[in-house]
Structure 1
Amino acid sequence: MLKQKVQELFNEPGCVTNQGKSDAERKKGCSIKGLTPGAAAGGCAYDGALIALQPITDVVHLVHGPIACAGNAWDNRHAASSGSELYRMGFTTDMSELDVIHGGEKKLWKAIKDVIADRNPPAVFVYQTCVPALIGDDVEKVCEVATEKLGVPVIPVNAPGFVGSKNLGNKLGGEALLDHVIGTMEPDDAGPTDVNIIGEYNLSGELWQVKPLFEKLGIRLRACITGDARYRDVATAHRARVNMMVCSQAMINVGRKMQERWGIPFFEGSFYGIEDTSDVLRTMSRLLVDQGADPGLIDRAEALIAEEEENAWAAIRAYKPRLEGRKVLLYTGGHKSWSVVSALQEVGMEVVRTSVRKATDNDKARALDLMEGEESALVGAIPAPEMYRMLEEGEADIMLSGGRTQFVALKARRPWLDINQERHYAYAGYVGMVELVRQLDKAVNNPMWATIQKDAPWDADGNLLTTAGGEG
């Protein structure tokens, strides 16, 4: 069943890459980088499924496998919650060598029973990892029996790490929601302006920066899949009128299948940047009106956009002269490869390179358009020595990336700002754009750089310093 599911995801018709393939190419599936069981500390399918589903805050996330699988992936993103903190607890069956010999199904059953008795969650998500998959544990059957006997939904997430990449794991996590969660409950308060956001994980609280905009327009967020989500929210998500895809690369299968099963139209958008946020509000309002909402929603959206844009630009105006013309090396990927470019250009900064790793063809096309057709500005992986050279020689004044490359910038004595999942600041919506500009200004114009970037005294004249105690 897992093999069939993976092949189905490789043939995903909503994927723009697949749309451009011939029938023969589509049957071959997607080429993926091979992964070695037990050697992937993050970046595997299991890791992708966990980070996609873990922001459902009120359920137990139980990892069936060795304890390292839980430890390597636990709480590795700042997905914030406005309520329950249960999702931040690490639960695992802690499989050992004896379990490899005798099988881990009984241990999994006991773990499920114990955690339900101890925590009383609305549901338990069970994550299959490499070891139990290789020895043949039937996780789906255990979950089915547990659901029947214990009266609590136990959701199997069949995404062992060796089947593929983190991105594939995101999609497999979405399949678990489609197969076992979405549509299993009926809301008692469905309305004409209910929407879902898919692929938003509320990193550092970014969802909370845009949710007030919906509330001002009378738009209700039925479910965020999965940022700051509750199990019941996701289970009733099929009654929303419109779906917004924040990162179609991760969960395009969820948006497409919800459209097929329940007739919910979806669109892709971004909350990074003033213009992109306004486009989301316009598109969402128009689609809701098409679905039967009050036509006055479109006029209310335009009034709100005008007010919010004016406030945002008023706050940004003081920073623009200090940032205009500064050159940025953007090393991220996915939808941020273009959405962050748009945000930076709005304050007059120049993006000299943007990485399009993990980006769809649509993402690349948008990035290329923003870079005015300069294909050389779109890059894949950049070797650390090349990053260092660009920063050291002044081709870029600042690097925006994830934590793994921050030390390249610091070694080159250039400012760096975290733009990836580990960041501590939220940059979504109008207020998020103002915060991004504020953090860029603090990083680029910090007075310490003037001192740090100077040659050391012994490099300036070729002589060692002479101190009071003699030669240094």
Structure 2
Amino acid sequence: MSSLRAKIQDVFNEPACENNRGKDAKARKEGCSKPLTPGAAAGGCAFDGAKIVLQPITDVAHLVHGPLACEGNSWDNRGAASSGPTLWRTSFTTDLTELDVVMGQGERKLFKAIREIKEAYGPPAIFVYSTCVTALIGDDIEAVCKRAAAKFDLAVVPVNAPGFVGSKNLGNKLAGEALLEHVIGAVEPDDAGPYDINILGEFNLSGEFWLVKPLLDRLGIRVRACIPGDARYVDIAGAHRARAAMMVCSTALINLARKMEQRWGIPFFEGSFYGITDTSDALRNIAELLVKQGADPEILGRTELLIAEEEAIAWKKLAAYRPRLAGKRVLLNTGGVKSWSVVHALMEIGIEIVGTSVKKSTVEDKERIKQILKDDNHIFEQMAARELYATLSEHKADILLSGGRTQFVALKAKTPWLDINQERQHPYAGYDGMLELVRQIDLAIQNPIWCQVREPAPWDCRPAVGEELPRTKSESLTLHTVQEFAGTTANDFGEC
């Protein structure tokens, strides 16, 4: 536990975080996340955060050392996609019971589970996750993993992030620490080149990184490791030989990017693949970093040619949507990198942003939003469901972009809604992703169902003043059921 405590303190003292650098020593040790209350997940525990970051590594076995419910709560909780291996979709857990706890069988059961996975699946690595129960009873998963690795000639990686130590975001960073300590640098690639990069904090949700990778391929840029989206163990193990890195979600893996720069001299920048301008800027920044690291400067010219070609195609396709969406008002209830990147992307085609949340956003994210919107009144830390409903029901927004938790608020307010978070069904990254995002917004707003659901129900209609109901309906109005009026038009009853 002392080593875990040291890791947590190290994560809290993150020098790459501008907000953290501005704190005094005492405040820095407290970290950025709100403390958890007993029995509350506060949007996700540390174990959940670690599993989110590591689960998309597709060819390894993810073994949860704890009760069955821990694995059930975290399995497949994001829409990451794989281009090959499916082992990551198989749940592995030691299924610790009360009897195992009382009899002290946890470590023995863990070792046995590692052996069974090795014999049945033969993965290149097994990631072992500690949980609240196993951490509290003192199971030493690091010792078990070390012994199993030597016994079975297999990479067995301990992920020390029990849920009670903090928030989901802390778990993200502890997962990055596990990769640094046990994975990155474990394999020495024999094909390292001047155009190798890492993409950090990209989860390949709905396969959207597959819309960006072809652009990099056309430039001759190889993604040595995308962490964690559609990743392979051997790629991450050799990620230390990349020449540059792009950070997509800094709130999750900023510590990983900084320490890789310190240890192996891999410079990084934070960017976004959402929107036409941000995608182009990301490609330029990647090319410039590679040139600074020794790549041939001719890649800068090729990058500009690619950007000009792709932007021309994208703007031509988006022209059809401009008249339909110009002036439409969007309310964003998301966070992190999407709080500013999606805002910029939508404003490019004339959509008005009436508000965006900065929940889980860094200080840098908030500064970007202020520069884009030019008005702090459109920025809110968190909007309660009641306030969200009031905003939508008063027709201050034409559509809500958010996660699944608030979709029913939008539906209750009879307002179109589009999933922009991790459960989304469509990829929105890159030039083609931007076109898909605009198309989905247009489909949602223009859907004729909204005109229908906003109309008053037939039984709520009242006759106009001085107008009599048709004789066949007025004789016993109070005795008729709603079904008897099926097929009756509004003209039969007057205006509502």
Q: Distance in 2 between matches of 1:175 and 1:27?
A: 17
Secondary structure at the aligned position of 1:95 is classed as coil
Q: 2:113 aligns with which of 111, 114, 129?
A: 111
**Quick check: which has more Rg, 1 or 2?**
2
Following superposition, the deviation at residue 30 of structure 1 comes to: 3.7
Q: 1:221 aligns with which of 220, 223, 228?
A: 223
- The match for 1:252 is 254
Q: Give, as a single letter, the amino acid of the residue that structure 1 aligns with 2:7.
A: K
Identity of aligned pairs, percent?
A: 62
Q: Distance in 1 between matches of 2:294 and 2:229?
A: 27
Q: Distance in 2 between matches of 1:439 and 1:29?
A: 38
- The match for 1:433 is 434
Q: Give, as a single letter, the amino acid of the residue that structure 1 aligns with 2:249.
A: C
Q: Give, as a single letter, the amino acid of the residue that structure 1 aligns with 2:206.
A: S
Q: Distance in 2 between matches of 1:25 and 1:125?
A: 33
- The match for 1:447 is 448
Q: Deviation per CA, 1:264-294: give whole Å up to 9, x if none.
A: 0000000000000000000100110111111
Asked whether the equivalents of residues 42 and 73 of structure 1 are also in contact (C-alpha less than 8 Å), the reply is no
Q: Distance in 1 between matches of 2:118 and 2:367?
A: 47
- The match for 1:284 is 286
Q: Give, as a single letter, the amino acid of the residue that structure 2 aligns with 1:189.
A: D
Q: 1:177 aligns with which of 173, 179, 185?
A: 179
Following superposition, the deviation at residue 392 of structure 1 comes to: 0.8
Q: Give, as a single letter, the amino acid of the residue that structure 2 aligns with 1:442.
A: L
- The match for 1:85 is 86
- The match for 1:330 is 332
* Count of paired positions: 470
Asked whether the equivalents of residues 287 and 300 of structure 2 are also in contact (C-alpha less than 8 Å), the reply is yes
Greater CA drift, 101-110 or 454-463:
454-463
Following superposition, the deviation at residue 447 of structure 1 comes to: 1.3
Asked whether the equivalents of residues 36 and 42 of structure 2 are also in contact (C-alpha less than 8 Å), the reply is no
**What is the 5 A alignment of 1:18-417?**
18-36=20-38, 39-40=40-41, 43-103=44-104, 104-372=106-374, 374-417=375-418
Q: Distance in 1 between matches of 2:71 and 2:377?
A: 40
Asked whether the equivalents of residues 35 and 44 of structure 1 are also in contact (C-alpha less than 8 Å), the reply is no
Q: 1:408 to 1:27 in 2, by over 3 A?
A: closer
Following superposition, the deviation at residue 460 of structure 1 comes to: 4.1
Q: 1:70 to 1:339 in 2, by over 3 A?
A: same
**What CA RMSD, in Å, does the superposition of the two structures yield over aligned residues?**
1.7
Q: Distance in 2 between matches of 1:251 and 1:8?
A: 14
Secondary structure at the aligned position of 1:199 is classed as strand
Asked whether the equivalents of residues 203 and 227 of structure 2 are also in contact (C-alpha less than 8 Å), the reply is yes
Secondary structure at the aligned position of 1:300 is classed as helix
Q: Distance in 2 between matches of 1:457 and 1:433?
A: 41
Q: Deviation per CA, 1:128-185: give whole Å up to 9, x if none.
A: 0000000000011000101111100100000000000000000000000000000010
Q: 1:462 to 1:145 in 2, by over 3 A?
A: farther
Following superposition, the deviation at residue 457 of structure 1 comes to: 3.0
Following superposition, the deviation at residue 28 of structure 1 comes to: 4.1
Asked whether the equivalents of residues 340 and 368 of structure 2 are also in contact (C-alpha less than 8 Å), the reply is yes
Asked whether the equivalents of residues 42 and 72 of structure 1 are also in contact (C-alpha less than 8 Å), the reply is no
Following superposition, the deviation at residue 19 of structure 1 comes to: 1.6
Q: Give, as a single letter, the amino acid of the residue that structure 2 aligns with 1:66.
A: P
Q: 1:470 aligns with which of 462, 465, 480?
A: 480
Secondary structure at the aligned position of 1:461 is classed as coil
Following superposition, the deviation at residue 33 of structure 1 comes to: 2.7
Q: 1:302 to 1:146 in 2, by over 3 A?
A: same
Q: Distance in 1 between matches of 2:408 and 2:434?
A: 25
Asked whether the equivalents of residues 195 and 242 of structure 1 are also in contact (C-alpha less than 8 Å), the reply is yes
Asked whether the equivalents of residues 35 and 162 of structure 1 are also in contact (C-alpha less than 8 Å), the reply is no
Q: 1:163 to 1:27 in 2, by over 3 A?
A: closer
Q: Distance in 1 between matches of 2:194 and 2:265?
A: 14
- The match for 2:422 is 421
Q: Structure 2-normalised TM-score?
A: 0.92
Structure 1: gaps of 5 or more residues: none
Q: 1:366 to 1:42 in 2, by over 3 A?
A: closer
Asked whether the equivalents of residues 35 and 164 of structure 1 are also in contact (C-alpha less than 8 Å), the reply is no
Q: Structure 1-normalised TM-score?
A: 0.97
Q: Deviation per CA, 1:8-51: give whole Å up to 9, x if none.
A: 100011112112213343244445231435x5396000000001
Alignment partner of 1:17 is 2:19: yes
* Runs of 4+, deviation exceeding 4 Å: 462-469
